Amino acid sequence: MPAFVPMLRATNVQGGLVLDNDLVYVPESVVAPAQLLRVGDIVVAASSGSVSVVGKSAMLKHEWHGAFGAFCTVLRTKPGIDAAYIGHYVASPAVRTRWSSLAAGTSINNLKRQHFEETVVPLPPVDEQRRIVAVIEEQLSRLDAGVVAVHRARVNLKRLHAAGLERLVTGTLGSPRILASQHRQPAPLPIPIGWEWHALADLCTSITDGDHQPPPKTDHGIPFIVIGNVRTGSVDFHDCRHVSPEYYRGLSATRQPKQGDVLYTLVGSFGIPVLVKKDEPFCVQRHIGILRPSARLLSAYLAAALGSRLAFQQASACATGTAQMTVPLAGLRRMVIPVPPLSEQVEIVARLEELESAAGATDGELVTASRLAVNLRSSILIAAFSGQLVPQSPTDVPSRR
């Protein structure tokens, strides 16, 4: 059998790293010796359909038996020049910006050989190059550790928020409650005395979805919402599709979402509840359910209950299909949630709003910290290649050009 080797593509160069996942393998016999990667090679994404990918680079720091393909370019430094210095330089904001502006094409953005050859590098003596690299890597290492900590904090924050929501909806957060297993209970989960299990069909005046006929699209008019517009848990009207006012008026009242309704994704990314908070006209595709709660159920409580693990497990159990799982309306109507008295629903919703407000504020601070880390990375590289990061030494031997 012929031997195969992995071949890097432009998408394997991300964030200063050579990613070895989702690789393409080719027979080693078709790979030219110059295409085989060596330690110290600087791999640059030279061609891509996305201009944001073109120009990304990474230095290979460890032995790796593989090659690079036509969509990548490899830079190999001459003796007497520190490869890591060049690697950090081509990752600096000035070079990335220049290369992005030079990439040209219609469907594919390309960097040509001359673009690399014409890139001017400020080259200090090799000893200074090594000092610069050492300081860059020390500072970036600390910065990367901070980014990892921020990411971990965001993950933990989401986990705590989900856990708090789960406990609020099941009545187990706060002061101890007397729990009772009711004979009508459809699942072996104790709930507080005074709470009851009910199917969604008994709690809503209507449960339907969007019109099943393909709507006539228009450039302007009434917003037409698809699953992509609600993935974040709120209705995003930015860059949404539109339908004519005549089409909208022709829909039944239950298919015209109104303030207080709860949307629920039914296909693919199913199980996302979205509370409609504003009273403005829009309609939805057939892959989104529209639940209109009765007076005995607060809309915000229904949205929270549908976002619980208990609801998602029921949705998963009734979903059908292979390539795209679909929650049928009949299954949605049969789903059950624990329902507390209205006064307790008010209290739970208030606690949820406090929890979400705190989570949102903290998450906003973490996002700001992440952006600051990106700016600091740029500042470090700018300082490094303008002679401001390390002191110069008169004893350094000039680099060979």
Residue from 356, 354, 370, 366 nearest 234 by CA: 356
Q: Across the chain, what does the average pLDDT equal?
A: 84
- Tell me if 85 sits within 8 A of 133, measured CB to CB: yes
Q: Is the fold of 4-121 the same as that of 125-183+340-401?
A: no
Classify residue 264 by burial, with Cβ atoms within 10 Å: 0-12, 13-18, 19+: buried
Residues in the chain: 401
Domain ranges in the chain are: 4-121, 125-183+340-401, 196-338
Tokens 């036509």, located at residue? 70
Q: If pLDDT is split at 50, 70 and 90, which confidence band does 154 have?
A: low
**Taking residues 164-175, what's their average pLDDT?**
58
**Structure confidence at residue 350 (pLDDT):** 86
Distance in angstroms (rounded) separating the CA atoms of residues 203 and 198: 7
Between 360 and 131, residue with greater pLDDT: 131
Could you please state the CATH topology (level 3) that the domain comprising 4-121 is classified under. Adenine-n6-DNA-methyltransferase TaqI; Chain A, domain 2 (3.90.220)
Distance in angstroms (rounded) separating the CA atoms of residues 97 and 381: 13
- Tell me if 291 sits within 8 A of 302, measured CB to CB: yes
**Structure confidence at residue 21 (pLDDT):** 67
Q: If pLDDT is split at 50, 70 and 90, which confidence band does 175 have?
A: very low
Q: If pLDDT is split at 50, 70 and 90, which confidence band does 184 have?
A: very low
Residues 282, 288, 291, CA angle at the centre, nearest 5°?
80
At the top level of CATH, the class of 196-338 is alpha beta
CATH homologous superfamily of 125-183+340-401: Bipartite methylase S protein (1.10.287.1120)
Residues 232, 312, 149, CA angle at the centre, nearest 5°?
50
Tell me the three state secondary structure of residue 137: helix
- Tell me if 107 sits within 8 A of 49, measured CB to CB: yes
**Taking residues 280-287, what's their average pLDDT?**
92
